[in-house]
Amino acid sequence: MPDGGRFPLVGLGTWKLPKPQAPALVQAAIRAGYRHLDCACDYGNEPEVGAGIAAALRDGACRRDELWVTSKLWNTYHEPKHVRAACERSLRDLKLDVLDLYLVHFPIALAYVPFDVRYPPEWFFDPNAAKPAMKPINVPYADTWGAMEELQRAGLVKRIGVCNLNISMLRDLLAGCSIRPAVHQLELHPYLTQVRQLRYCQQEQIAVSAFSPLGAPSYLPLGMAQAAESVLTDPVVTSMAAAHGRTPGQIVLRWGVQRGCTVLPKTQSPARLAENLALFDFALSAGEMAAIDGLDRHRRFNDPGHFCEKAFNTFFPIFD
């Protein structure tokens, strides 16, 4: 990090981590050596993730200052007057005094839903309406960002960052901000290599975090990907895995860190916790890196331009 902080290269993703398993899994992850957790209000499990963090810190698995915890501002809190309360709620749920990183989850501003009506509010304004839909509101991203900057000035968060921006939006943000985003978190895997995003962020000294670094598996149960779209069964990856005596997942994650990103694999399997962290005792050759780079299909699985219409009855493209 330009501020001298250490951004651990592998973070545990917590989206869809079931609440009952989350405390023990997070505790086991920290015991196994994870020093980076990727959380969000929208994942609905911050209290349980927080319980796991608290248990690990109590055990002495690591010190708080050795652990990097990220959370994210949800879409319904983009109005500047709601940003601080949203951050404080995540802090309270995670049982922390400060976040290492707070990200704007999506460049999507939705109408406010009070905490006591629904938390997390998710995407529908009123899920019980006759025709439930999202309720977009007009909040300039720069205004939300101004409130994010206030959080950093007030010491609630050490750094602020963005997710899911196209380069034009990021450029616009950089043109007007007082505090630059420390991190851009975006979907990155061998079928969506985002070479220009990576290069632009590196040029601007913005760290890049890869979400869904394993590609399709996260989206199969949601009907947002087909089994044939899994890079983990791609012959280029499976043959490299055999050659290195590693799993396909490790090859894909190693490619991610070796190209300069942090990777955020989610697993709820205790065995895979160790697998996804064991990336630093082997390396891919330049030829192997190039072969994986060459797999790019520009396949975005997490695209509001598709899923908002299909699942939330609202056409909401953001990348075009």
Ligand X SMILES: NC(=O)c1ccc[n+]([C@@H]2O[C@H](COP(=O)([O-])OP(=O)(O)OC[C@H]3O[C@@H](n4cnc5c(N)ncnc54)[C@H](OP(=O)(O)O)[C@@H]3O)[C@@H](O)[C@H]2O)c1
Catalytic residue numbers?
Answer: 43
Nearer to ligand X, 110 or 264 (CB): 264
CB of 279 vs ligand X, minimal distance in Å: 10
Q: Report yes or no: 77 and 83 within 8 Å, Cβ to Cβ.
A: yes
Nearer to ligand X, 139 or 210 (CB): 210
**Quick one: DSSP state of residue 127?**
T
**Quick one: DSSP state of residue 172?**
H
By the 10 Å C-beta count (0-12 exposed, 13-18 middle, 19+ buried), 18 is classed as: exposed
CB of 268 vs ligand X, minimal distance in Å: 4
3-class DSSP state of 37: strand
3-class DSSP state of 49: helix
**Separation of alpha carbons 206 and 190, rounded Å:** 21
**Separation of alpha carbons 165 and 209, rounded Å:** 13
Nearer to ligand X, 83 or 286 (CB): 83
Radius of gyration for the chain, computed over Cα atoms and rounded to the nearest angstrom: 19
- What residue is closest to ligand X based on CB? 13
CB of 40 vs ligand X, minimal distance in Å: 7
Nearer to ligand X, 164 or 314 (CB): 164
Q: Report yes or no: 314 and 308 within 8 Å, Cβ to Cβ.
A: yes
Distances (CA, A) of 37 to 15, 30, 127, 203: 11, 9, 30, 26
Binding site for ligand X (CB under 6 A): 13-15, 38, 105, 163-164, 185, 211-214, 217-218, 232, 247, 249, 264-269, 272, 275-276, 302
Nearer to ligand X, 126 or 136 (CB): 136
CB of 34 vs ligand X, minimal distance in Å: 12
CB of 255 vs ligand X, minimal distance in Å: 13
The pairing of strands 207-211 and 101-104 is unpaired
